[in-house]
Amino acid sequence: MGLLDKFFGGKVDYPPLPAGNEALAQLDEMKAPLEELAHKVHDHLEVVPAEHEAFVFLGKPPKNFGIAWIHDGKVTGLKEFAEEHHLTQVEVGKMIVRLGEAYQHASETPRYSAEFGGKQMVVIPSQGLEQEMHQIMANTLH
């Protein structure tokens, strides 16, 4: 991917997630909620698979994005997450900034494509990014 594509939003075609990849098995476990999200959200989606859950960047990370968390067979959006944990606008804003930074930290991680619900998604199989996102969410709650 060229640097200009990154800044000017050129569409990048990533290779398909290889069969037998651990990330593919993790995503298959999340298939129903991922498909539900694909049908609801018309924006660009980037998925960070994890064990028994997944994080999804919606939009154009690292600057202009939302986040969804797939766990326990359901999708929790940022708004629901904030309400559920009684987070202030400031706490949510700080969390979004840190999640954007985490996304940038993983900028060199190979990316792949996968289709769910008829929608192409970018898959970022990065244990480091997943752990950093967990840490950010945990720190926001404490």
Does the pLDDT at position 1 exceed 50? Answer: no
**Tell me, what's the pLDDT at 5?**
47
Instruction: Give domain limits for the chain.
Output: 19-141
- Give CA–CA dist 35/121, Å, rounded: 11
Tens of pLDDT, residue by residue over 104-140, are 999 999 999 999 999 999 999 999 999 999 999 989 8
Does the pLDDT at position 3 exceed 70? Answer: no
Q: Kindly report the average pLDDT of the chain as a whole number.
A: 90
